[in-house]
Structure 1
Amino acid sequence: MRNKHKHYFLGVLLILALLLGLAGAFLHMNTYQPTSSAKQASQHATVTKNVTTFKAKNSKLTLVFYPGGLVEPDSYANWAYQVSKEGYTVKIVHFPLNLAVLAPNQAKQVVGPHEKYVIGGHSLGGAIAARYAAKADKTNLKGLFLLAAYADQKGRLDHSQLPVLSVTASQDGVLNWTNYHANKKYLPKDTTFSTISGGNHGGFGSYGHQKGDKTTKISNSEQQKQVAQILIKWLKTIKN
């Protein structure tokens, strides 16, 4: 009887392992990959298990970034490299299966104990970054930025003095605009809002067309340039 139960238990484990493997393979096949230009820009970064880092000379502040769901970290290398050249270190955080929701506190693994930083993310990554910011010690955390993303109730900062930047694109066909506008109530009243005219959801990274997105009216290189410029302008206002 014991052997029978043992074989049954092993069979269940084998089936579970197979299902997990299939799920992982499915997610991998549906993960957005960086374009050739993003891959080229990523050559300027150092990569470890938890983070891709674009180190700035005499860094003024660190920008910690949570990628969008099922998007490879290097897909954001173009604007990240541009920002780093202006004196801000950029750390693109790695997540299991490229889903920030699976490790929402991963920022703790990439930020030093005395390192001053802002945190933000794209799409799902932005929502999770907002949740992190809402609970984090504000001693070294100096701001939150959201790219085609919004804070939910778990990430509410409406009573916080934390500087917040929210950037959207006019051709975004993925962002839930109803929720975006409704959830502005969770952000500080002095939040900085910016819109990239002609840009779309996928254009906040460089990974090609995203399912459900609208056609962009500007090039990806142009949107990447504008993302970098908007971030740099905002970062210059941060007091650290």
Structure 2
Amino acid sequence: MKKIIKYGLISLIAVLLIAFGGFYIWSEQTYKPTKQLHALVNEKEWKVQDGFVVIEPKKSNGTGIVLYPGAKVEPEAYAYYSKQLAAKGYTVLIADVAFHFALLDVNKAADAKKLFPQMKQWYIGGHSLGGVAAASYAYKHQDEVEGIIFLGSYPSKSSDFTDIDMPILSLYAEYDGLSTVEKIKENEHLLSKETTMHKIKGGNHAQFGMYGKQKGDKEAKISAIEQQREMATATKQWLDELEKN
């Protein structure tokens, strides 16, 4: 009997190790920033600091933004979008999450606040599954977050903002093959009454970052630069409106 238990435990451990090894290999096969992004953002314009890719403005407006990447996407892929926000005074921290999977590192935003304690207020956002993770953090820390930015994403049912006073910006794309327009609409009831919906005509899922094509996505009808600029413009307008109020 003892031998059976012993061999059973050994077999279980072996299976778990193989499963973890497979997940680790999968998680390391990441989407990397394109050459086009590197042409738009000089590496000197960002710094890697304590688990974040940080893009700071020349003059800070006292507001920080934490972005969670999509699954298996390198944080630098969001540097151009972040650079445009930094040009308006926002300090942007793109999270380098555990195993490139934001749902395993939901509380990463807390590290950002420790890194920049001088910030007066914080917004949080994310792309795809990164948006799900950002919503989860915001739902549990409502007093610490001024608003949420969804990039081709929406909250899970466990993060229902229907009756919560939380400004939300939902940027979604016409040709998103993963977070489709249909899925965005199906989950719109989970968003707060203070939600602004912005549809990017001609855009797709992968162009919420700049990392090339993604399996399962549709072909975009606009360029990555066009989508990135529309994202940034819509985000800045939304933030400006909140500051007025």
Q: What TM-score comes out, normalization by structure 2 length?
A: 0.87
Cα distance in 1 for residues equivalent to 2:242 and 2:232:
16
Matched residue type, 1:125: G
Q: CA-atom RMSD, angstroms?
A: 2.5
Match of residue 36 from structure 2? 37
Asked if 1:20 corresponds to 2:20, the answer is: yes
Indicate the SS of the match to 1:168: strand
Aligned residue for 1:56? Answer: 57
User: Structure 2: how far apart are the matches of 1:104 and 1:131?
Assistant: 7
* Distance (Å, rounded) in 2 between the aligned partners of 1:118 and 1:191: 14
- 2:80 counterpart residue number: 78
Q: Aligned pair in 2 of structure 1 residues 114, 17: CA closer, same or farther (>3 Å)?
A: same
CA shift in 2, pair 1:173/1:22, >3 Å = closer
**Which of 116, 122, 130 is matched with 2:135 structurally?**
130
Instruction: Tell me the equivalent position of 1:107.
Output: 109
Aligned-pair CA distance for 1:13: 5.3
Q: Secondary structure at the match of 1:215?
A: coil
Give the 5 Å matches for 1:211-222.
Answer: 211-222=215-226
Partner of 1:70, secondary structure, is coil
The count of corresponding residues between Structure 1 and Structure 2 is: 238
Q: Are 1:142 and 1:238, in contact at CA under 8 Å, matched by a contact in 2?
A: no
Q: CA 1:10–1:147 in 2, change beyond 3 Å: closer, same or farther?
A: same
Deviations 1:4-57 (A, max 9, x none): x9999778756754553343123322x211101324526111102411110113
CA distance in 2, matches of 1:189, 1:15: 47
- Contact 1:65–1:93 under 8 Å retained in 2: yes
Structure 2 Cα separation of the partners of residues 156 and 106 of structure 1: 21
Aligned partners of 2:165 and 2:193 also within 8 Å: no
User: 1:187 and 1:42, CA in 2 relative to 1: closer, same or farther beyond 3 A?
Assistant: farther
Structure 1 length-normalised TM: 0.88
In 2, are the aligned partners of 1:143 and 1:238 still within 8 Å (CA)?
Answer: no
Contact 2:55 2:83 (C-alpha < 8 Å) held by counterparts: yes
Residue 121 of structure 1 is matched in structure 2 by 126
Task: Tell me the distance in 1 between the aligned counterparts of 2:135 and 2:23.
Answer: 28
The DSSP-based 3-state class of the residue aligned with 2:147 is strand
Deviates more, 1:57-66 or 1:192-201: 57-66
Partner of 2:146: 142
- How far apart, in 2, do the equivalents of 1:190 and 1:59 lie? 26
SS of 1:110's equivalent in the other structure is: helix
Closer/same/farther in 2, CA of residues 39 and 18 from structure 1, 3 Å limit:
farther
Q: Distance in 2 between matches of 1:19 and 1:192?
A: 41
**Contiguous gaps of at least 5 residues in structure 2:** none
After superposition, give the CA deviation of every residue in 1:210-235 in whole Å (9 maximum; x if it has no partner): 11111111111111111111111111
